[in-house]
A and B are shown apart, each in its own frame.
Chain A
Amino acid sequence: MSWLHVLAAVVCVGALVLRVRAVLPVFSRGRQPSSARRKGKAARQPTDKTLCIVLGSGGHTAEMARLLQGVDFDRYARRMYVVGDSDLLSLDQIGSLEAARDHEAEHYTVCRIPRSRHVGQSFKSSIVSSLWTLLHVCRVMLQNSPDAVLCNGPANCVLVGIVALVPRFWGIKHIPVVYVESFARVTSLSLSGRIMYYVADRFVVQWPGLREKYPLAEYIPHLV
């Protein structure tokens, strides 16, 4: 291998690192205003943005249903729900949630994706099924082209969060990712949370102890 190859490799890796650094929210989050509520904002205009909502098991979904009460569905006129295909309960809950909020036509799609890991599955086969899940996530993100992602902890939200950064990496589209750590997490982050801390543009925790441990997190009590 000549020195030219080495130089090319170094330049490529350098460019990649710089781009990832520019794109990963964890490096810029500290500079952003962290006030959750700004009063006297310009009147909210209805927009036809698509909001991607990642749902998980019963507890996560129940919490998400409460969080969505704070989201103006006139602004996010289309919703896409990403649901693990084994989670029939969530499907039920989406139906009743949307029915309560949107009385007209159904402006939402449900994207079912295969589960990334089954209980007791071997490590090797769980890698294969994770890739399969990733492929499905890429497909539903391409099809629905969301304008923002809201998630709160199920394993699938990590895949969705990372896939949402890909168009940003290429400078195509900025899809902000908002992560709300589960109310059940009092003193330590979930595994999803520990990863999403680097991936999400806004990282919200619901207990003060977590704010102390994770300085880039925003602490907002009584959300749910």
Chain B
Amino acid sequence: MLAYVAVGSTGFDKLVSAVSKKEFLRALGSRGFRRLVVQYGSSEGAFCPPSTVSESSGVSIDHFDYTRWPQRYVEQADLIICHAGTGSILEALHAGKPTVVVPNHALMDSHQSEISEELAAAGYLLVSEPDELAKTVGGGKYLDLIPYPHADPRPIGDILDEECSRQ
């Protein structure tokens, strides 16, 4: 099983550091994960995984700063851990994958964590802080999430057509 961690176009030191800690890797391992892929953006310095496989609880770790094809990892993943960016959240939810969102309080205004709180309240995803991540994953609650409804953007096309035929 594969867990995919993505911080998006900037960096997120606290999250990147949290997912390279032994405690988190142990939690992943206990849930049956054998692979971890980390997209750490500009937070390379915060990424310091254990050097031996035994220390990383049998989880093998791939990492890179950015990828042009995040979809590839999203599709393969059995668990997605991402920052609270709308793009990342929607991508994870539409792929139908269990999602844990970690808001970056240093980077964004309060309204951006609103969206993850709202979606969490509806049961579509989990919200966690970096230092609680090991507990959140170890607890396995991500398996009980509700699938996100299919999006339908067609009303936008209808609205444009209506407005264009109005004149």
Q: Name A residues whose Cβ lies closer than 8 Å to a Cβ of B.
A: 36-38, 41, 44, 49, 51, 58-59, 61-63, 66-72, 75-76, 89, 92, 147-148, 150, 174, 176, 178, 180, 182-188, 201-202, 204, 207, 218, 220, 222-224
Interface residues of B in 111-167 (CB under 8 A from A): 111-112, 114-115, 118, 149-164, 166-167
Sample of 16 more A-B contacts, CB < 8 Å, known A36-B159, A222-B149, A222-B152: A37-B154, A58-B8, A58-B87, A59-B85, A66-B151, A68-B153, A70-B154, A76-B160, A92-B68, A148-B160, A148-B163, A150-B160, A176-B160, A184-B111, A186-B118, A207-B118
9 smallest CB-CB distances across A and B, nearest first, come from: A70-B153, A62-B87, A176-B163, A174-B167, A36-B155, A70-B154, A70-B157, A70-B156, A59-B86
B9 at the interface (CB under 8 A from A): yes
What secondary structure prevails in chain A residues at the interface with B? loop
Q: Specify which chain B residues have a CB less than 8 angstroms from the CB of A150 in the assembled complex.
A: 156, 160
Q: B164 touching A49 by the CB < 8 A rule? A: yes
Q: Smallest CB–CB gap between B127 and chain A, Å?
A: 14
A36 to B91, CA, bound (A): 25
A62-B90, A201-B163, A222-B151 are known contacts. Are A184 and B156 too (CB-CB below 8 A)? Answer: no
Q: A75 touching B161 by the CB < 8 A rule? A: yes
What secondary structure prevails in chain B residues at the interface with A? helix
Number of B residues contacting the other chain (C-beta, 8 Å)? 31
Q: B111 touching A185 by the CB < 8 A rule? A: yes
Can you list 17 A-B contacts (CB < 8 A)? Answer: A41-B161, A51-B160, A59-B85, A62-B91, A63-B86, A70-B157, A70-B158, A76-B160, A148-B163, A180-B156, A183-B90, A184-B86, A185-B111, A222-B149, A223-B155, A224-B90, A224-B151
Q: Smallest CB–CB gap between A222 and chain B, Å?
A: 5
Q: Specify which chain B residues have a CB less than 8 angstroms from the CB of A51 in the assembled complex.
A: 160
A185 to B111, CA, bound (A): 7
Chain A residue nearest in CB terms to B8: A58
- Checking B118, B149, B154, B164 against A148 with a beta-carbon cut-off of 8 angstroms, the contacting residue is B164
- Checking A38, A148, A174, A184 against B158 with a beta-carbon cut-off of 8 angstroms, the contacting residue is A38
A58 to B68, CA, bound (A): 13
Q: Smallest CB–CB gap between B8 and chain A, Å?
A: 7
Q: Specify which chain B residues have a CB less than 8 angstroms from the CB of A38 in the assembled complex.
A: 158, 162
Q: Specify which chain A residues have a CB less than 8 angstroms from the CB of B115 in the assembled complex.
A: 183-184, 186
A58 to B90, CA, bound (A): 13
